[in-house]
Amino acid sequence: MEAFRRYVVPGVFLVFSIVQLVSTSVTHYSIPEEMKEGSVVANIASDLRLDVKTLNERKMRLDIVKYLDVNKETGELYIVEKIDRENICPSKSSASCYLRLEVTLENPLRIFNIEIEILDMNDNAPQFRRDAIHLDISESTPKGDRFSLSNAVDPDVGSNSVKTYHLSESEYFNIEVQTGRDGSKFADLILKKTLDREQQAVHHLTLTAVDGGKPARSGTASVIVHVLDTNDNTPTFDKSIYNVKIMENSPIGSLVLHLNATDLDEGSNSDITYSYSLYTSEKTQETFHLNPTSGEITVRGMLNYEDFNIYDMEVIATDKGANSLSGQCTIKILVEDMNDNHPELSIKSFQSPVSEDIKLDTVIAVVSVSDKDSGENGIVDLHIPDNMPFKLRESSDNYYELVVSEALDREKVPEYDITFTVTDRGSPPLSDNETMTLELLDVNDNVPQFPKSFYTIRVMENNAPGALLESLSAFDPDLHENQYLVYVIIEKEIANTSMSMLFSINPEDGKLYALKTFDYEIEKEFLFHIEARDSGSPPLSSNVSVHIIIVDQNDNAPVIVSPWRAHGSVVEEKIPRSTDKGSLVAKVIALDTDSVHNSRITYQFLQVTDATLFSLDQYNGEIRTMRMFSYRDPRHQRLVVVAKDNGEPALSATVTIKLSTEETAVKAYSDMTEVPLEYDIFSDLNLYLVIGLGSVSFLLLITILVTIVLKCQKAKPSKAAPPSRNSVISERNSTIADSTLVSNDAYWYSLFLAETRKGKLVVRQPVPKGSRYIVSSIPRGTGLTDTSDSAASTLQVFILNHVLLNLTYLLIFSTTYFLGGIIFYISGLSVEHCTFKILKTQKSQVGC
């Protein structure tokens, strides 16, 4: 281990408010890099004059323990990890590299500074930044030119760094080593012989860097020299003269000849472009195309043997070098004759799109045709497909017009692909064609169409307002705004109510909604129209009939209308105990305002005092006796009848009838409830009555005429007439007064209703209780007054008046008698049995 020098520098520190002198010193050591781990650098305990036994007690420690540490038992400073000088001191600006440490001891506090110099060793070989160095040198570069090479780098310093460079053996290159201002070494590549790229395009060299260490280390790099081309070779064609044959009418683009010129240079110096020389005519250049890159000669224009059959041209090949070089060749093209000129057609005018309502004979297109051949080969014909509503019309030589021959309909055919075909008359014939598309513009010529002409919609009553009833969507085959439909309800008032207040339709999709809740008993059906109108100009529309049928729900209970009773009261009836079996006791009539199905009413006893005494017809509600009354039967009978409808669920109403029996000889009124009406109105008696009525009417007419004549013969008209004698109406019982029959019996209200059953006419007329109905009323007559200024005698006037009055009474009586006989005969009643029968109860019956 080398000797070291020690420097001691005193210092003063204040610790824990006690002034204590702490001596520090700088101890210097020098060690080589890359010492093995565990190697002892020095015994710092002895060098610092410390007691080895107190090192642990005084807590001796180093501030840096990565590379070095102290053995507290022996006081030796040793290597913990190998030290690499290049890592600690990467900068080569200073040749010295130091590692500075602080040794700290306590009780008392002492700090020692230690400086360790790391000495360099030749442990690194020179390295180039790149393994390969590429140089591009033109083949025209003169010899002696220098080219800088990348220098090598060696982390070591001093004599261990790069010292010199060596180059591998080469015929064209050598190197020269240069020293920089900082002492670094670098090499220049020197060209010692002119390069030729065509002989050798790339040169591979090896550059070696060697340091000055012992033993010396070295590093190598490849030097690759690319020789850059210079344009020193001219393009050359395979032949100097080319002879080529080609058929006339060869398609445009057909290959005639593929020229190939070569250039030994590379890059842009070997890129060749082909062009016509100034000696090539413009006709040739227009007929044939020369590709400047590939050298292909293709047909550019139409070749026609009759026009031109020999083409001469001169082609030049030029490279793209800085100083371009060129070569040339001569080409002769011979055109061989063929009779194959195709007819040609040209669309001079074509109108598309057109409106579908275009008029007939309107010109759509103008087409011209031609053929360069002559004779039959030059005559051409133009055709279009047969199944089209168009025709061709020749307007002038080789010009045709396409006109509309039939009506167009866009909804059937929206567009036409019209193919024009032109054919010559040669052998074989040649043809050409061209297809044009004719589009049709829509016209609003279709009315909206509903799937149905009549919609029947059933709506259950008591529906919710706003409920969807039906979707009435129509279809319009037109396009765009012509097919955009708007739906409206055609206004119609029913009972001063507009349809738009009952129903609503969505104008966009035609959905029909109910605006209110419908009641079958009030409104059973609606009939109105829905209109669908498109948005065309002018707009077209159609309508559809909508029949709304309100479907009944069983929401009304039956109502008892006969026998009549006050609300909640019991109906009291009296019948004789001598009533026969099968006699009609009462008839229950109930009405239901629901539909036919729900309003079918059936009757049945809910309660009955004696089930063996009465029967109830479940369909007509008639209550009849099943047997004669016996002395054991109670005087009062209580019948509760329920009337049920046919709905689901069924609704019902009840009526209570209290029957009282009494001893009487009067025949049950049920016998009068049904009187058959005879229909033989042309019997002998009818004939006599008609003859008598005609005679009496004739006499009455004569009397009236005579009276009028006599009245006109008076000197003065009568000034006053006695008032007519009004009919007298009885207030309580049925009475005949002044030829007037009046009845106010409430019994007729429950008994006389009109219905037809089993070929008989039963007359039952309802009369409200307490009302007075006049059965018939006949005015008694009209009196005549005396006049003071009459020209006739008073006796004569008296006699005439008396005679006329008697005749009038006679005619009125006869007329009344005959009319009454006819009426009651037709009603089926016998005149001989006309009587008045007055019941002792609250009922009265009238017969005439």
SS (H, E, C) 382-447: EECCCCCCEEEEEEECCEEEEEECCCCCCCCCCEEEEEEEEEECCCCCCEEEEEEEEEEECCCCCC
**Quick one: tokens of 439?**
């589009």
> In this prediction, what percent of the chain has a pLDDT beyond 70?
76
- The β-bridge partners of 548 are 457, 526
Are 846 and 775 in contact by the 8 Å Cβ rule? The answer is yes
Q: Which is nearest to 104 in space by CA: 65, 138, 131?
A: 65
Question: What per-residue confidence (pLDDT) applies to 149?
Answer: 87
Please state the rounded mean pLDDT for residues 352-376.
86
**Complete domains list, the chain, with CATH:** 30-119 (2.60.40.60), 127-228 (2.60.40.60), 236-336 (2.60.40.60), 344-441 (2.60.40.60), 454-551 (2.60.40.60), 559-662 (2.60.40.60)
Contacts with 739 (C-beta within 8 Å, 6 or more apart), sequence order: 727, 776, 777, 778, 780, 816
Q: How far apart are CA 794 and CA 797, in angstroms?
A: 5
User: Tens of pLDDT along 425-478?
Assistant: 877 888 899 999 999 888 888 889 899 889 999 998 888 898 898 888 898 888
Q: How far apart are CA 749 and CA 731, in angstroms?
A: 17
Question: What per-residue confidence (pLDDT) applies to 203?
Answer: 92
Higher pLDDT, 242 or 498: 242
With a cut of 70, say whether residue 686 has pLDDT above it: no
Q: How far apart are CA 96 and CA 171, in angstroms?
A: 44
Question: What per-residue confidence (pLDDT) applies to 687?
Answer: 65
Question: What per-residue confidence (pLDDT) applies to 568?
Answer: 61
Are 608 and 614 in contact by the 8 Å Cβ rule? The answer is yes
pTM of the predicted model, to two decimals? 0.37
Question: What per-residue confidence (pLDDT) applies to 512?
Answer: 92
Higher pLDDT, 368 or 15: 368
What SS3 state is found at 9? strand
Lowest-pLDDT choice from 241-255, 339-353, 400-414, 531-545 = 339-353
With a cut of 80, say whether residue 339 has pLDDT above it: no
**Quick one: tokens of 603?**
């009757």
Give the burial class of 446: count Cβ atoms within 10 A of its Cβ; 0-12 exposed, 13-18 middle, 19 or more buried: buried
What SS3 state is found at 672? helix
The conformation of residue 378, written as its DSSP 8-state character, comes to G
Lowest-pLDDT choice from 584-598, 630-644, 750-764 = 750-764
Please state the rounded mean pLDDT for residues 148-167.
83
Band (pLDDT 50/70/90 cuts) for residue 94 is low
Higher pLDDT, 803 or 115: 115
Please tell me the total number of residues recorded for the chain in this structure.
848
Lowest-pLDDT choice from 212-226, 403-417, 676-690, 707-721 = 676-690
Count Cβ atoms below 10 Å from residue 472 Cβ, excluding itself.
21
Q: How far apart are CA 475 and CA 455, in angstroms?
A: 16
The residue whose two tokens read 């070929």 is 759
Please state the rounded mean pLDDT for residues 230-238.
89
Helix (H) or strand (E) holding 638: strand 636-644
Question: What per-residue confidence (pLDDT) applies to 45?
Answer: 84
Band (pLDDT 50/70/90 cuts) for residue 822 is low
Alpha helices by DSSP H, 31-127: 44-47, 85-88
Please state the rounded mean pLDDT for residues 767-788.
34
Alpha-carbon distances, residue 550 vs 36, 454, 485, 576, 646 (angstroms): 114, 17, 29, 50, 18
Contacts with 20 (C-beta within 8 Å, 6 or more apart), sequence order: 13, 14, 108, 109
Are 394 and 348 in contact by the 8 Å Cβ rule? The answer is no
